[in-house]
Amino acid sequence: MDTAMPLRFRRMNQESPAKLRFLFLTLAMWTLASPAQSATEDADPAKAAVRQSLQKTLAALPSGTKANTPEPLLRGPIGNALSINQAMDETLMKSPRAASIRLELGIAKSARIKATELPNPSFIVDNGYKAEFTYRYGVSVPIEPPWKLALRLIAAKKQIGLADLQIAKGLWLLRGDIRRTYSELLIAQERYETASELCQLYERLLAMAKIRFDAGDVAELDVQRAELAVERTRINRDLMLNKVMRAKQGLAVLLGRPYDAAFDVPRLPPFKLKAEKLDYLPDLESSLPELPQLLAKANQNRLEIKIVDQSVRLNGANLKLAYGNILPNPTIAFGSSVVNGPLDSPSKSGQRNFWTKLASKRKIWRRHEETQTQPIQLRVQAECCETGDCAW
């Protein structure tokens, strides 16, 4: 019986650390609570001393703690912590990313002011006083057709609607990012807690292995394997700590706080091996809607589809504007002219007259308009094909 246990340890030296941990726990329970061997161990002074030392070690190391490892500092309180709703509200109000997304609407609204721009008038001066004995001055005012202004305003309105949908999509993506980062922080925090508790357990097993090695019950290889398991769990715990810090920094940046700001997130409730019906789980008794109904709701509510539809409308408005700009703008010029005779003429006083002029630039080649309308037509065709309407 005395030689069977060391041989068993030698056979288990090649097993995994999990089996080694199970063996240590079995050995402790066998040493402390085996009624069949209590009489022989009380009679043997060496085994009685080992039994007393193990009892003192287990009493000095309570469950869930260790002597040289402090309590985890990243474990947040259950109450008065940053909830997911508070994180979303603070992100939408104070995050620089949310502010930059909202500023896109003001940039888009500037297209309405730009659409009301009219061609600038010009001042005409024709100084031919010595060569032609004529001096003209006046004003040239281009007149833009009203449909061009209307088409520009319609295109600007479509552009503002597209920017509004893009802002809504950006805010939804931001909400998804804050929810994902918050969940990663919760998971990283719980993994760090689990790694810390596992490290404490392996350190207790290492202490027990050293005591039994000093008593001659186990080989030194078992102690070395326990030390290796402790070092691995410490490295894993440090990795989990780095993940917690990185998740906290990412969440702080999304919240608009300094990256090293201190805040706590709530702890997850303790695990209970009990089936409970939760509100956020699907009800398997209710029938699922059919696929056409889901597709109809998706076409009605998805922001990506709304953005594509609005892009089709915007490109259609730009196409009409390009067609409307083909016609030139007429120009009206009017002013005064002074006509004098030669310098050696007896009459040096000039004759003042009033003149008007109506002009319209006619473009011989329409290549410029074709280069403007052709890309817009291709864009409209591509947008329509994305929505399933390939009637072009």
pLDDT above 90 for 19: no
Question: CA-CA distance, 13 to 6, in Å (whole number)?
Answer: 11
pLDDT at 161: 92
Contacts of 227 (CB under 8 A, 6+ apart): 206
Helix (H) or strand (E) holding 344: none
User: How far apart are alpha carbons 267 and 239 in whole angstroms?
Assistant: 20
Q: In what order do the strands lie in the sheet with 134-142?
A: 122-128, 134-142, 330-339, 351-360
What Å distances lie between residue 50 and 47, 208, 224, 267, 356, CA to CA? Answer: 5, 11, 20, 41, 121
Report pTM: 0.60
pLDDT tens track for 106-146:
888 898 998 988 888 888 888 776 667 777 888 988 988 88
pLDDT band at 44 (very low <50, low <70, confident <90, very high): low
pLDDT surpasses 70 at 173: yes
Q: Residue 156 above 90 pLDDT?
A: yes
CA-CA distance, 203 to 24, in Å (whole number)?
A: 12
pLDDT of amino acid 268: 75
b/e sequence 96-128, b meaning 16+ C-beta within 10 Å = ebbeebeeeeeebeebeeebeeeeeeeeeeeee
| Residue corresponding to tokens 């326990």 | 226
Q: Is the Cβ–Cβ distance between 310 and 162 less than 8 Å?
A: yes
Average pLDDT score over residue span 340-350: 56
Give yes or no for residue 153 having a pLDDT over 90: yes
The 10 Å CB-count burial string (b at 16+, else e) for 139-175 is: ebebeeeeebeebbbbbbbbbbbbbbbbbebbbeebe
150 band by pLDDT with thresholds 50, 70 and 90:
very high
pLDDT of 277 strictly over 80: no
Question: Phi and psi at residue 336, in whole multiples of 5°?
Answer: -125, 150
Measured between alpha carbons, how far is residue 125 from residues 78, 140, 329, 334, 355 in Å? 82, 11, 22, 11, 13
Compute the distance between CA of residue 131 and CA of residue 121 in angstroms, rounded to an integer.
Answer: 28
Task: Give the whole-angstrom CA distance, residue 191 versus residue 241.
Answer: 9
Average pLDDT over residues 31-60: 50
- For the domain made up of 1-118+165-268, the CATH class stated in words is mainly alpha
pLDDT average, residue stretch 358-379 = 62
Q: Are 314 and 158 in contact (CB under 8 A)?
A: yes
pLDDT at 267 over 70: yes
Summarize the confidence of residues 283-304 as an average pLDDT: 84
Looking up tokens 């409307």 gives 324
Q: Kindly state the percentage of the chain with pLDDT values over 90.
A: 17
Within 10 angstroms of residue 72's Cβ, the number of other Cβ atoms is 15
Burial 300-310 (b: 16+ CB within 10 A, else e): eeebeebbebb
Instruction: Using the predicted structure, report yes or no on whether residue 202 has a pLDDT greater than 50.
Output: yes
The domain limits of the chain are 1-118+165-268
Q: What is the pLDDT of residue 67?
A: 40
| Cα–Cα distance for residue pair 124/140, rounded to 1 Å | 7
pLDDT tens column, 315-331? 999 999 988 888 888 88
* Cβ pair 200, 352 in contact under 8 A: no
Calculate what percentage of the chain has a pLDDT beyond 70.
Answer: 64
